[in-house]
């Protein structure tokens, strides 16, 4: 699926260990680099498929998740599902924001971003 818009989630939590456990249900692999845990995940989609998502959880509670395929709209829905699942598992999440990064590979100077509050 070609990329038509990368969706980026940023959020904060005080429940870092619980956030790691919650994201672990989607994890394919994880690696700690310094104070950041990097997780490669597959988040289920409503149609039965899954979207690859890269998640970074920092020791201070900052969560960043990035989709790399599909559309911005599908990416946001996928990341919203990740947030809902984490909250259902008891993770308190604040300051949830989504941002879009669009890139025109023919004209990189046309790249832009926009953000939205969840």
CB of 72 within 8 A of CB of 79? no
* Per-domain residue ranges of the chain: 6-117
Band (pLDDT 50/70/90 cuts) for residue 102 is low
Per the CB < 8 A criterion, the answer to whether 91 and 22 are in contact is yes
Q: Which CATH number fits domain 6-117: 1.10.3720.10, 3.30.70.2970, 3.30.70.1400, 3.60.15.10?
A: 3.30.70.1400
Query: Rounded distance, CA 67 to CA 51, Å?
Result: 7
- Which structure tokens are listed for 78? 């996928």
CA distance linking residue 49 with residue 55, whole number of Å = 19
Residue spans of beta strands (DSSP E) within the chain: 6-13, 27-33, 36-44, 50-58, 62-67, 93-102, 112-117
Q: Is the pLDDT of residue 104 over 70?
A: no
Mean pLDDT (the chain, rounded): 83
For residue 71 the two structure tokens come to 């559309």
Tens digits of residue pLDDT in 32-89: 999 999 999 999 988 888 999 999 999 999 999 999 788 888 999 999 999 999 999 9
pTM score > 0.95 for this model? no
């Amino acid at each position: 699926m070609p990329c038509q818009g990368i969706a980026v989630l940023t959020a904060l939590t005080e429940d870092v260990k619980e956030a790691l456990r919650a994201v672990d249900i989607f994890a394919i692999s994880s690696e700690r680099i310094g104070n950041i845990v990097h997780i490669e995940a597959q988040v289920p989609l409503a149609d039965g498929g899954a979207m690859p998502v890269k998640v970074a959880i920092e020791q201070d509670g900052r969560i960043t998740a990035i989709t790399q395929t599909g559309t911005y709209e599908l990416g946001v829905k996928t990341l919203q599902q990740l947030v809902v699942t984490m909250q259902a598992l008891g993770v308190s999440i604040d300051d949830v924001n989504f941002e879009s990064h669009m890139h025109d590979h023919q004209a990189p100077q046309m790249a832009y971003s926009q953000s939205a509050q969840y």
